[in-house]
Amino acid sequence: MFQIIFMGTPDFAVPSLKKLHASDHAVSLTVCQPDRPRGRGRKLMPPAVKQAALDLNIEVIQPESITAPGFSEALAAYQPDLFVVVAFGRILPKTLLKLPRLGTVNVHASLLPKYRGPAPIQWAIINGEKETGVTTMLMDEGLDTGDILLTAKTLIEPDETAASLHDRLADLGADLLIKTLRGFEDGSVKPFPQEGQRATYAPLLKKTDGRIDWKKPAKAIDAFVRGMTPWPGAFTFHGDHRLKIYRARAVDKDVTAAPGSVMPGFPDELQIAAGKGALTIIEIQGASGKRLSVPEFLRGYRLPPGSLLH
List the CATH number of the domain containing 189.
3.40.50.170
Domain that holds residue 111: 3-198
CATH code of the domain containing 229: 3.10.25.10
Mean pLDDT of 158-178: 98
Domains in the chain, number: 2
Is residue 32 within 8 A of residue 40, CB to CB? The reply is no
Give me the pLDDT at residue 40, please.
Answer: 75
Digit-coded pLDDT (tens) for 268-308: 999 999 999 999 999 999 977 799 999 999 999 999 999 99
The helix or strand, by DSSP H or E, that contains position 219, with its residue range, turns out to be helix 218-227
Domain assignment of residue 309, yes or no = no
Domain assignment of residue 305, yes or no = no
Mean pLDDT of 111-130: 98
Both 170 and 63 in one domain: the answer is yes
Mean pLDDT of 101-113: 97
252 — pLDDT class (breaks 50, 70, 90): very high
Digit-coded pLDDT (tens) for 193-238: 999 999 999 999 999 999 999 999 999 999 999 999 999 999 999 9
Is residue 95 within 8 A of residue 116, CB to CB? The reply is no
Separation of first and last alpha carbons in the chain? 57
Give me the pLDDT at residue 288, please.
Answer: 73
Both 23 and 105 in one domain: the answer is yes
The helix or strand, by DSSP H or E, that contains position 266, with its residue range, turns out to be none
Mean pLDDT of 63-77: 93
Residues facing 135 on adjacent strands: 108, 151
In the predicted structure, residue 259 carries a pLDDT above the cut 80: yes
Give me the pLDDT at residue 243, please.
Answer: 97
Residue 209 phi, psi dihedral angles, 5° rounding: -70, -15
Give me the pLDDT at residue 68, please.
Answer: 87
Residue 157 phi, psi dihedral angles, 5° rounding: -70, 155
Residue 102 phi, psi dihedral angles, 5° rounding: -110, -5
Give me the pLDDT at residue 296, please.
Answer: 95
Q: What mean pLDDT value characterizes the chain?
A: 96
Global pTM value: 0.95
Domain assignment of residue 310, yes or no = no
Mean pLDDT of 16-33: 97
Among 176, 198, 220, identify where a domain stops.
198
Give me the pLDDT at residue 87, please.
Answer: 97
